[in-house]
Structure 1
């Protein structure tokens, strides 16, 4: 057997050592490269995966922003009301724990036992309890029972402003009103309860909480005092006339700011479950009705803008009826003497207005109804607004021209009507009504909402002529004389509309909608006011039912706003003369 000499043996040994070293270096390089790849490129994903394997996040809603009125009076706030939860795996005696806490959380002990005796990692036991109850539960020091800081929405004004604010559900999500419309701004950012898992993937209760972030605060255009005045006066009128309900709105005619919006019957947003869902509805924007004679100012404005009739031009001989399109139209109280355009509106003559409508014509009547905003949503920042009913002239019947002229065959909402009247008050501009005045961010900075002009409806000259005509409505011989406000001139229009009887499909002889819409002071308007009373019993004329409410609201609101009566403003001028 041949023997290797020492030189050959050493050469083979060195070669094997180099190969082994190369293999080891290559192996280590691959391992290090893999670790570097996982760390650099997959590190975050793997960490998240590991975290999910050993922890679980239970979302907690963010703290909602506070809602204020225009002077920063609180309308919607948050109350600290912690919630109690359970981790069933950590509860060794579900029945015993359930018996100890069932009475405190107002739950049946058997129901609670079943809830705790399951394989779920997490269960809510009771949401939003009073701090006193939570304190007693904490003192029991029960294993597997934890607490999460949460809040409950609270409306300190109760029924006041309920239909505007709306309300939230158990998870503090907006369901109605401003709460729903501005949900994204109010809701804030969610937080989490962190539940960790042990090596056996069983949940271990911890007290770790990732704090939620607060939402933005909202400042509304609503004035709490003016809202109270409107709600009080409207409620008194509804009660006095044994009516089915009512709507009242106060608006700044130049900016579109809604200072008050009242719906009767009212509801308390703290306890929405005590009411039928229909009672939450804001009828100022969701319910359509025929405006009756309040619509006549639209027809008169169109005829003035077109220059077809002057205010003092005689348009009607004063007779009590006329035939048009195979139908007869009547005046409830015929004047018996010739009437000018001013007289027709002041006395709310159906026949006279019908003749004005005929002069204006179908296309132009439709044009001005559309310009004033009817048939389209106003765009107010509240959920559920409807567009109303205004049919294209191509679908009108032979008598539609005169019936629409007197406020029939057209469906409007209260907010459309006050927005249209505001166009007369502000010199001919249609402005968008709005509820939000400003948004407060986390730094306390306020972003104000700017007024939005939609379009010009009529010229300033036509609006001034219309204002003079509407002042006569509230004059001694006008249908709206009971709207006359102490110390101020008023411009406005009455309306008494028959409701459709759902059983017969015809106009009811006993159900009416009484209304008055106007602005004050007439020459330099501070506020526009609309009052609508639904189905008053007995006397139903808008001038008798709604006009006095306008007066009462106007007098109190103007005094609160520190607006000097017009005669006081004239004293210095007279003294100089």
Structure 2
């Protein structure tokens, strides 16, 4: 593209505008040079020609300009003098004439707008030579004219300023106001708006995706509420499904320490209703901080509160005090098997007995509910807020081997007999000899397991597993059985029995004197001969006697499942003194529990096989699935023949005239057993009084049950109650289980054979 000339092109009249009406105006009147109409201004273009100028006019002007240029370059041509004349005339134009010419142009502002807001100066910003618009004429010949003459276009040169014209200091022209481009403004606004939205979007994404957990966790801790969901505790049943202990609906009372307004006054109001000291309640309601650093909003005040009591507490409308559903341990039988079952705390934690021993199994697993709640009066779950619930897992239940009816009758009989002699401690145990199951286990004294707070610790002891005694003469069955098994004696053995025997420095006498006569084994057992038993033990040897004591289960707990079961104590042969050879065979210098001795006689009744006693028959999980316990451990001690022979010898105790166990005989049944008189030991020390006992089995010809009765009577007379108590208990047991009376005739015994 050809470069744009610095000065606008002009027509023949000197006007920069040009007009489509220049050929013939209205009325044919010539216009004043330099002055044009508004239509000329509108049709003017920055190139200095009108848009209506025809192609022929442009070509004519271009040719004239070229011809003039060629003439100017050749000396003597008239065209050169004419151009010089025009140029000199233009130089003489003053600046004033230029200002007057510009001020006389009323359309100059419009031309500037059409020219892009620039003055007549060229795009380079150089100031144009001063000219007078009224006298300026076109000096450039048309290009086609110069081309016809063959002239080359003259080189452009700047016209020198006349020397006579005084140069004024240049002044930078005022820059005209540039009008804004709306499209550029729209683009800029769009870019800024998009950038703003981009920043906001990025920030929102950061808040929702990156920083959301931090902001969410910052306040949720203050809104979280935790409510414990107690797991229902498993029940305890007897062998027939009767409830011995179970949980019933109750209420627990709690405090929110952050909302309790007056701690002393609140504790004082609750103490009479809950039965808890004021100081203890005040301590529980005192503000405290949890391990996580948040204040505690839940503290138990009491559990297992009856529904009626809870209603009274809620009626007080104490700030920060509430009550919710809970459970309370209920023992329908009150003192029935209480010494075995034990009891729980208000928090449903087993404290004694089987409740403590199987607490993990019975308790189950508590649940928990965590939710977002409001504060103050709006302390309720927030809809749509965080809510997590861990369901409570109910505890398993226990089915015991106990028989409700048998247990009740045993406790009743034992209590009545103990009351006759002011007995301090008594125990009665009934066992199934084949399975080792405990059918009844009574203790005296006893207590109400439903309200254990009123009892003494000694009342809650299970005497059958913790009552440690010198068994006395009931131990003689072990000596006789070991001698039979080792072949030292036979069922027909008989020998003279003196009235006294000395071991070391201790004499041992018989209550029923034989005066040196020959006595049978049955006679020795019937009259509980100490001299005859010590003589047999001498033949057996202390090592063998100690061995059979262990095989019969003495010296260690039976593992029946009761917490705190005593193991008893055996005297090793190496520790025997000279007198031990006389005391150990007849049941002294030996510590044992009533349950251990009952297991000894159960082994004799079970054809010589010892069976581990057990109290738990099966477990029942929360879904009702029953799982039997492992079968009892067994081990042979005597051969069936020797066990039968020993049972026959023991039967003499209840049949021989003037025998020690006549009061234990049960009409219609053959009974085999043994009486005993020993001592009670506490911390290894002998206590005042005596311990009377009787252990027997029935029916003797085919035993099914073994019952052991022990009674400590500080004032004596225990022998008068042990036999009758056994008789009543065994008679009830045989009738309860519908055992038919004995059809066989009792054996005849000879005490002093000739």
- With the shorter chain as reference, the TM-score category is 0.7 to 0.9
Cα distance, 1:203–1:346 mapped onto 2, change above 3 Å: farther
Corresponding residue SS for 1:299: helix
Whether the 8 Å contact between 1:243 and 1:536 is mirrored in structure 2 is: yes
Number of the residue aligned with 2:231: 62
Cα distance, 1:341–1:105 mapped onto 2, change above 3 Å: closer
Name which of 643, 667, 673 aligns with 1:492.
673
User: Structure with the greater relative contact order (CA < 8 A, sep ≥ 6): 1 or 2?
Assistant: 1
Corresponding residue SS for 1:189: coil
Q: Partners in 2 of 1:54 and 1:320 — Cα distance?
A: 88
Corresponding residue SS for 2:475: helix
**2:696 is equivalent to residue 518 of structure 1:** yes
Compute the displacement of 1:127 (Å): 3.2
Cα distance, 1:204–1:569 mapped onto 2, change above 3 Å: farther
Number of the residue aligned with 2:726: 550
Corresponding residue SS for 1:369: helix
Number of the residue aligned with 1:405: 585
Corresponding residue SS for 1:328: strand
After the TM superposition, which residues 347-362 of structure 1 pair with which residues of structure 2 at under 5 Å, given as runs? 347-362=527-542
Q: Partners in 2 of 1:465 and 1:86 — Cα distance?
A: 70
Compute the displacement of 1:537 (Å): 3.5
Cα shift readout 1:238-270 (whole Å, capped 9, x = no counterpart): 111222221111111111111111110111112
Name which of 162, 165, 175 aligns with 2:351.
175
**2:431 is equivalent to residue 251 of structure 1:** yes
Name which of 397, 408, 418 aligns with 1:228.
408
Cα distance, 1:519–1:87 mapped onto 2, change above 3 Å: same
Number of the residue aligned with 2:341: 165
Q: Partners in 1 of 2:729 and 2:449 — Cα distance?
A: 25
Name which of 544, 547, 551 aligns with 1:371.
551
After the TM superposition, which residues 295-374 of structure 1 pair with which residues of structure 2 at under 5 Å, given as runs? 295-315=475-495, 317-336=496-515, 337-374=517-554
Name which of 373, 376, 379 aligns with 1:205.
379
Name which of 655, 661, 673 aligns with 1:480.
661
Whether the 8 Å contact between 1:90 and 1:205 is mirrored in structure 2 is: no
Q: Partners in 1 of 2:458 and 2:726 — Cα distance?
A: 27
Cα shift readout 1:349-375 (whole Å, capped 9, x = no counterpart): 000000011001011000000100111
Corresponding residue SS for 1:519: strand
Q: Between Structure 1 and Structure 2, whose CA radius of gyration is higher?
A: 2
Cα distance, 1:195–1:471 mapped onto 2, change above 3 Å: same
Q: Partners in 2 of 1:415 and 1:46 — Cα distance?
A: 66
Whether the 8 Å contact between 1:253 and 1:528 is mirrored in structure 2 is: yes
Residue range with higher mean Cα deviation, 215-224 or 84-93: 84-93
**2:372 is equivalent to residue 192 of structure 1:** no
Number of the residue aligned with 2:651: 471
Q: Partners in 1 of 2:271 and 2:707 — Cα distance?
A: 53
Q: Partners in 2 of 1:318 and 1:234 — Cα distance?
A: 36
Cα distance, 1:69–1:118 mapped onto 2, change above 3 Å: same
Alignment coverage as a number of residue pairs: 538
Name which of 302, 310, 321 aligns with 1:134.
310
Q: Partners in 1 of 2:311 and 2:330 — Cα distance?
A: 21
Cα distance, 1:136–1:322 mapped onto 2, change above 3 Å: closer
Cα shift readout 1:426-479 (whole Å, capped 9, x = no counterpart): 111111111111111122121122431331111111111111111111113232
Q: Partners in 2 of 1:536 and 1:398 — Cα distance?
A: 29
**2:700 is equivalent to residue 531 of structure 1:** no
Corresponding residue SS for 2:743: helix
Residue range with higher mean Cα deviation, 212-221 or 298-307: 212-221
Q: Partners in 2 of 1:118 and 1:374 — Cα distance?
A: 55
Whether the 8 Å contact between 1:256 and 1:451 is mirrored in structure 2 is: no
**2:571 is equivalent to residue 391 of structure 1:** yes
Q: Which runs of 5+ in 1 are unaligned?
A: 1-16, 571-577
Number of the residue aligned with 1:77: 246
Whether the 8 Å contact between 1:90 and 1:143 is mirrored in structure 2 is: yes
Cα distance, 1:492–1:147 mapped onto 2, change above 3 Å: same
Name which of 612, 616, 640 aligns with 1:436.
616
Whether the 8 Å contact between 2:425 and 2:463 is mirrored in structure 1 is: no
Compute the displacement of 1:94 (Å): 7.0
Cα distance, 1:51–1:386 mapped onto 2, change above 3 Å: farther
Whether the 8 Å contact between 2:526 and 2:650 is mirrored in structure 1 is: yes
Cα distance, 1:104–1:433 mapped onto 2, change above 3 Å: closer
Whether the 8 Å contact between 1:436 and 1:449 is mirrored in structure 2 is: yes
Whether the 8 Å contact between 1:197 and 1:203 is mirrored in structure 2 is: no
Q: Which runs of 5+ in 2 are unaligned?
A: 1-190, 289-295, 382-386, 747-754
Whether the 8 Å contact between 2:253 and 2:301 is mirrored in structure 1 is: yes
Residue range with higher mean Cα deviation, 251-260 or 53-62: 53-62
Cα distance, 1:422–1:203 mapped onto 2, change above 3 Å: farther
Compute the displacement of 1:35 (Å): 5.1
Whether the 8 Å contact between 1:471 and 1:491 is mirrored in structure 2 is: yes
Name which of 141, 149, 167 aligns with 2:325.
149
Cα distance, 1:110–1:266 mapped onto 2, change above 3 Å: closer
Q: Partners in 2 of 1:271 and 1:177 — Cα distance?
A: 15
